[in-house]
Structure 1
């Protein structure tokens, strides 16, 4: 049978059309219970047990649970535990959860698919006895509650009539909606709220800890610390009439009492300060902002708030310090539009990693949780497991934030492992940066070819056979996911200008041959978007069989490739470009150092060495052309850890050494990416996937320019070409690292490069500022970047060599994927940096070092310093009773000691482990010496062995020079006379 609904609607042209919707109903849908002797179940359809064991003390009889929508949405962490079984999920609930929260919906589907959990999905919306129409004037939510009650009553009756005698399970409806519960009880349905049910479950320790504390009335005014948020209607009306603005809240990493929000129409981000200004917004929330009057606008704080292990939880003293620092005399250009949060449009809460801070009161169940991410406030949770969890990294979800609580409320989700355990700490990094890292599913693995796969002969016939060409790869040591290989060979004849001609090819792993569109493998790769590199492990985008084997261009093995081949003259002018699918056999898989040795070894005249020399010579000319066009040579502190072969713990670090072959590979990868971008734009002007790098706003350079001026350099940032020239000229004799430091700071003035679809922005916005090129994309790393997979498919469609990809030419789909790519790329970068920080902390657990450092920034109460040897940076706090901060020129002064940006200093480096959550490296000033403040290295006996060894390794350190009689002024004068 079926029901029909008829609607009359009016089109844009004014025509009236009739819409008829049919809804089919059935009487043969199965109830899923093994106790039922009427429904014709198959064995694999018997989900609900015939005699379910009651685990709740409130109900001493066998029963099935039916959940309403809010129980699923708010208590999914409880549902994921093995405690609850024999649960009926109605179609009404499933569809509403899907509409309201896709993440919870996916988690629910995983529970339902686990046969051991005994969760049964019943299609109540298509059963003739459980389907109901929406009444006139009835809200959709009320109709859904009525549908859930109808299905609960039907199940109760159906099982009572059709079950085997003595095997008639009851139905218990779990709902936290008091109105719905009262109506259901009046209709004879057994009901219970979630809290009462879970707290009376026996045999599952800690289950009640996972309960969400989500029911908090916003109108609460008792001892309110925060203003009430506006209602959604008030927010919508305020935004529409221009009194309010919408933006995403970004909390400060240095200061939990400060944040910003970017709003269209404002050149600068809107500043939000203090607990009233932030008003319970959490990093990532979409908020409604009211702009303050212009006379109340302030500037961002230059205070760095310390993260103290014994924080009493009172922010009033810290807030006074913050607000006083921004109300001082200030330059007008530093004033920033300032506002306050008046409403929450959309929460972006997730699960957070951290540690528990047990209450000092014996027997207490309410405790504070400190998140690993400093931008997230502490969370109040309830648990009876505090003794066991105190030494664990744990996962906590946020539930609500009432007005009368300094902290948001949340609940415990699960333990990750002991604090300090490397596996647990890596898990924290991956979870905190939202890196998908679960094992590849069986569905994904089923898409892979067999381990002994070889290239089919018919596939070779479709491609250009380059197996006899001398192709080689050049990569970092230990690289197993080899994306790219190169070749170069001289061509007969010369150009009209008499220049030699060469054929140069870049050959990229053809990942798209294995990763077909819309397969489980493709969807997983798209969801991951990028391979994530931690210090001691790699989270692959595609399974290892592809990343390290069948797609990796290993030496001496035949591989499928996508080739970009140029005809190029000796001055690196491109004469012709072609693209084709190919088959290659790499002659050698070399490291950068091995390739450099082959180039430098004049006795070698083999094909590989000759090819590398040609590539190196052409690369230098290509680089010179790029720099002449205004490309920037920026820098970042990069280090490599030496790890113990058994424990895999770091034992030392060293700066990454760059040789000519690093630059050689980079130049040809850049050239291939540019060539492919031009081809894609030519063939797909509206949906080419490109990468752009916006020019930084002038305000980004303010602090950087002021710091450079203190060192006597006027940096011209009017264009990237002028900027590049200024950076080249900013050299201080005797300070070779100064120019590198300048480039590191210049990098931090840049905006993030992003993926985009060509039709989504105007062509003048395609420009890549850092590379000084009008168009760019990513083509050369499809093993580790999904963007390159998309580019390969577009290029294949443009060449007509894979027609199945033509259907993927969809601008709207491309834009959505670009957003995901940009997000995953950022998170992967942050995860990599967090891994470096973790391993640095491990390195310093039993070590103290005295090292040279450079001042990166001067704050009101601290110096931000960089240790070049370790690539580390952090705050060196300065006491206000000794140092005075010059706001106009941004330097600190104590007597005759002046500390400003770019100054070289000496610091003592040690690990502070007193705060278990935020273990941090402590920087202490050694030189220049400040009485009663600087750490003085005088007595080696007071230092531990590692510190003494560190001093000895430094050779003639500054402090040893002071002790050595040969370094006294008198001795130096005698030496000078001699």
Structure 2
């Protein structure tokens, strides 16, 4: 078959250099005095990287030191074809004006376009095209009348053949590593170099650490034949030597494969798509009840690793065993930043990207937890900021035509003191017929964020707000005081009392339908005004006014969900909370049974009703603990597109339909819902992506991911601030309750601080006690004492900062007293140190 194509060539494509008088260019990017201080190139010069340098050394190219770079069209097209993430990063660099990166369309300039020769591979043709472009640039800049000693062009390539041919043609060419090492006063840039192909498999030690990953061709053949399974790798949060692989099947035919031990995990990372091979049935095991934390020390001792692996391999009844396998290859990596300290490695597998600061310092650790949880937190670009409304902003006559003016109503918000980002408010007034009218007022953020612009795209990517620990004190005390103060009868107070009265009725109706009220202890830090260190820590106290605001927000969300679904049954952005599978309740049922309490889990209402009456004489905190356990049994609530799902039910709220509408200032899902509602009531026009159920579904997936990572980041922030709180307080003694029982530890909740910690009984610094674990209880017998869920204990709490990279809150048992296990209580608990203030 003969293929005919037209390819247009031009003579007027400019070179982009300030020092050129030959080209009639409208704009220039490359500077005349392009001088990067290099011991190899002491003269002004431009860099021209080939495709592989861009693909593998993008971290180097992003550095502020690297400027005045020519990116050929040939290179740009090849990068786009081979790596979408690197292509996006390259395009971002090109758009940075201060970097002076210039894209030269060499494939359309007459002197730089070349045909592919017979028998020449596409790769060889592209290498030749790059050399031709370098040669043209060198001659072109040399013959420029205005600047005879103009900048020279340096080709960067790590391909030995390409380098040799370039040298034979008289071109200036260096390996990327050679050039980077020649840069004066920038030694840190060398650490960002990716390894060359020659170095990648260089092993310092002769020891093989892991089984080799199979090539993709073998993996694909194995999946097709059924000998391998493809799934998503999910690392255990309790045990670093255990993970599961979720294998998606047809309908409800999905399975989970258990992985145990370093060899079987085989270098997979959380959320990687992996290929697993099932082990023979007689090697299947049960999930481990052992708590194993990676202490972060370098693992050079094989015997120690093998010993830890063995602790997992426990015999179990056939019914408790799960399909068990091993990772044989990585199909798709879940690329994200990883932070840590660099130790000597046995394999040269990776490169340094940047220094974050000193470990243990607050700003550094905050940056780390944002990076580790993939939270976008870079400064907003000028393109994004350009779409903000110009200040001062005023309501225009055009706005008044499309909107209803409610400013005559007594509308009030209930927010923290000093809050400036007020996005919701309420009003309540008595009508002539004696009924109460309630209005829920939500900031119309979507009015300022138009679909498809840079601001909208940035918001869609970020998805949700991440609240790290700070100075904000979330209190609804003022509203509560107004309601309770009988001497106050102004419009606002009367409105608040009406709202509070209605909210109680609404809440009772929800609970009667089976809505769940579950406890999840949250902690609040009181921060020092100057050092911003936590000086006090306590659990959050919820007031009646919290519930009042919540009820009306829930009602607004449910009402809007129904409206947008009625109007757009195929593309409504909704939120659902799936009912947990029965097995999720096992730990809750066992815990209740241990105190002779019966819990029913047939429905949300049955669960709610049985939790309401679950009491133990002389143990007032029992019901709260039971609700905390019930929270752990729940599934994650998720966003979804109505046209792609059939189950809309929200289990926790006992509502047949639900969405997020009331916080567009901090969640992108609410922006989409606002847009759908605006179209439904004729206040705004639609656009294609809004009505595309596949795009809405993809957006929902990103929002779910961002929401989950936001929760993890917030927990990590609480954990870090808790460490800061305990750092200067020595050892504290506190009472707590056993929340979970494991094979080698008990997990204790300290209600005063809302803090969970693990008391280990198999520490390496002393001989382990006699441990007997009963799965049925579950109970753990330590010497002669048996621990069960909800047992009251007394522990010491301290910060172990012996490993700066893995600082941990440590707990040790004081009471019950078990000889050889318990620690003596300190005679006097140290007082909190008052921070010094320098004036």
Same fold (TM over 0.5): yes
Question: Is the counterpart of residue 891 in structure 1 residue 776 in structure 2?
Answer: no
Which residue number in structure 1 is paired with residue 22 of structure 2? 38
Deviations 1:339-366 (A, max 9, x none): 111111122233222234xxxxxxxxxx
Task: State the match for 1:533 in structure 2.
Answer: 467
Tell me if 1:920 matches 2:803. Answer: no
1:201 Cα deviation from its structure 2 partner: 2.7
Deviations 1:87-137 (A, max 9, x none): 211122223333444443343334333444332221122222323455677
Aligned to 2:260: 273
The alignment partner of 2:805 has SS state of coil
Q: Is 1:317 equivalent to 2:304 in the alignment?
A: yes
> How far apart in 1 are the matches of 2:771 and 2:418?
48
Specify which of 406, 424, 435 is matched with residue 501 of structure 1.
435
**Higher normalized strand content (fraction of residues):** 1
Helix, strand or coil at the partner of 1:209: helix
Partner of residue 407, structure 2: 467
Which SS does the other structure have where 1:731 is aligned? coil
* 2:702 corresponds to which of 808, 817, 820: 820
Asked if 1:344 is matched to 2:345, the reply is: no
> Counterparts of 1:169-184 in structure 2 under 5 Å?
169-184=151-166
Q: Pick one of 473, 479, 487 that aligns with 2:419.
A: 479
Q: 1:94-109 residue pairs with structure 2 within 5 A?
A: 94-109=76-91
Matches of 2:42 and 2:689 in 1, distance apart?
59
Change (3 A) 1:513 1:920: same
Residue 521 of structure 1, aligned match among 437, 451, 455: 455
Matched, 1:205 2:187: yes
Report if the CA contact (8 A) 2:360-2:805 is conserved: no
Q: Is structure 2 residue 659 aligned with structure 1 residue 673?
A: no
Alignment partner, residue 876 of structure 1: 759
SS in 1 for 2:304: helix
Contact 1:592 1:662 (C-alpha < 8 Å) held by counterparts: yes
Is the aligned partner of 1:326 residue 2:208? no
Please state whether the residue corresponding to 1:594 is helix, strand or coil.
Answer: helix
2:445 to 511, 532, 541: 511
Is 2:560–2:661's contact at 8 Å kept on the other side of the alignment?
Answer: yes
User: Could you tell me how far 1:800 is from its partner in structure 2?
Assistant: 0.7
Kindly indicate whether the alpha-carbon contact (under 8 Å) linking 2:36 and 2:66 is maintained by their aligned counterparts in 1: no
Residue 226 of structure 1 pairs with residue 210 of structure 2: yes
State which drifts further: 925-934 or 677-686: 925-934
Aligned-partner Cα distance in 1 for 2:459–2:297: 44
Q: Which residue of 2 aligns with 1:564?
A: none
CA shift in 2, pair 1:354/1:309, >3 Å = closer
Inter-partner Cα distance in structure 1 for 2:825 and 2:780: 23
Once residues 180 and 272 of structure 1 are traced to their aligned partners in structure 2, the CA distance between those partners, rounded to angstroms, is 45
Distance in 1 (CA, whole Å) between partners of 2:794 and 2:279 is: 44
Unmatched tracts of structure 1, length 5 or more: 8-19, 357-366, 369-379, 381-404, 494-499, 539-589, 949-978
1:852 paired residue number: 735
Alignment correspondent of 1:335? 321
Whole-Å Cα distance in 2 between the matches of residues 33 and 774 of structure 1? 64
1:937 aligns with 2:825: yes
Structure 2 vs 1, CA of residues 85 and 781 (structure 1 numbering), >3 Å: closer, same or farther?
closer
8 Å CA contact retained: 2:427, 2:439: yes
More displaced stretch, 505-514 vs 139-148: 139-148
1:147 Cα deviation after fit: 3.0
Which deviations, in whole Å up to 9, do the C-alpha atoms of 1:32-64 show, x marking residues without a partner?
Answer: 23444422235x4151436x4464444566543
Please give the TM-score of this superposition, normalised by the length of structure 1. Answer: 0.79
Normalised by the size of structure 2, how large is the TM-score?
0.92
- The range that moved more, 903-912 or 319-328, is 319-328
| CA-to-aligned-CA distance 1:136-157 (integer Å, 9 cap, x gap) | 7765544433432332233234
Contact 2:738 2:747 in 1 (8 A): yes
> How far is 1:168 from its partner?
5.2
Could you tell me how far apart the structure 2 residues matched to 1:787 and 1:836 are? Answer: 25
Residues 229 and 141 (structure 1), Cα distance of their counterparts in 2 relative to 1, 3 Å cut: farther
User: Do the aligned residues in 1 keep the contact of 2:19 with 2:147 (CA within 8 Å)?
Assistant: no
Of 421-430 and 918-927, more deviation after overlay is shown by 421-430
Superposed displacement of residue 74, structure 1: 1.9
Tell me if the contact between 1:47 and 1:115 (Cα under 8 Å) persists in the aligned partners.
no
Counterparts of residues 728-747 of structure 1 (less than 5 Å)? 728-747=612-631
Q: Deviations over 1:571-621 (max 9, x none)?
A: xxxxxxxxxxxxxxxxxxx96222222222333333222222222222222
Query: Deviation at 1:843?
Result: 0.8
Aligned to 2:94: 112
Question: 2-side partners of 1:688 and 1:22: how far apart?
Answer: 46
Query: Residue in 1 aligned with 2:288?
Result: 301
| Counterpart in the other structure of 2:233 | 249
Secondary structure of the 1:921 match is strand
TM-superposed CA distance for 1:625, in Å, is 1.7
**Mapped partners of 2:35, 2:393: distance in 1:** 50
Residue from 485, 488, 493 that aligns with 2:428: 488
Q: CA deviation at 1:781?
A: 0.6
User: How many Å separate the matches in 2 of 1:225 and 1:438?
Assistant: 37
The answer (yes or no) to whether the contact 1:49–1:86 under 8 Å persists in 2 is no
User: For 1:53 and 1:780, how far apart are their aligned partners in 2?
Assistant: 54
Partner of 1:47: 30
In 2, the alpha carbon distance for the partners of 1:94 and 1:869 equals: 58
Does residue 829 of structure 1 match 2:711?
yes
* CA distance in structure 1 between the partners assigned to 2:453 and 2:367 by the alignment: 28
Counterpart pick for 1:863 among 736, 746, 749:
746
2:692 and 2:480 map into 1 onto residues whose CA distance is 44
Q: Secondary structure, in 3 states, of the residue corresponding to 1:856?
A: strand
User: CA RMSD for the aligned pairs?
Assistant: 2.8
Structure 1 CA distance for aligned equivalents of residues 277 and 616 of structure 2: 48
* 3-state SS of paired residue (2:340): strand
Which residue does 1:82 correspond to in 2? 64
Question: Deviations 1:650-681 (Å, cap 9, x if unpaired)?
Answer: 11112211122211111111111111111111
Please state if 1:28 is matched with 2:12: yes
With 594-603 and 691-700 compared, the bigger mean Cα shift is at: 594-603
- Per-residue CA shift, 1:275-320, capped at 9, x if unaligned? 2212221223221111222222112222222443655533542343
Distance across 1 between alignment mates of 2:414 and 2:282 = 59
Superposed CA offset, 1:861-920 (max 9, x none): 111221111111121111332433234433211344211222221111111111101111
Query: 1:901 — aligned with what?
Result: 789
Counterpart CA distance in 1 for 2:443 and 2:394 is: 15
Q: 3-state SS of the aligned residue for 2:187?
A: coil
Distance 1:748 1:128, change over 3 A: farther
Distance in structure 2 (CA, Å) of the matches to 1:209 and 1:630? 58
Q: Contact (CA 8 Å) 1:841, 1:911: kept in 2 or not? A: yes
Match in the other structure for 1:974: none
SS at match of 2:350: strand
1:787 corresponds to:
669
Give the aligned length: 822
Find the partner of 2:683 among 776, 787, 801: 801
1:415 partnered with 2:347: no
User: Which residue matches 1:129?
Assistant: 111
Change (3 A) 1:181 1:452: same
Pair 1:703 & 2:582 matched: no
Task: Extract unaligned runs of 5+ from structure 2.
Answer: 763-767, 835-839
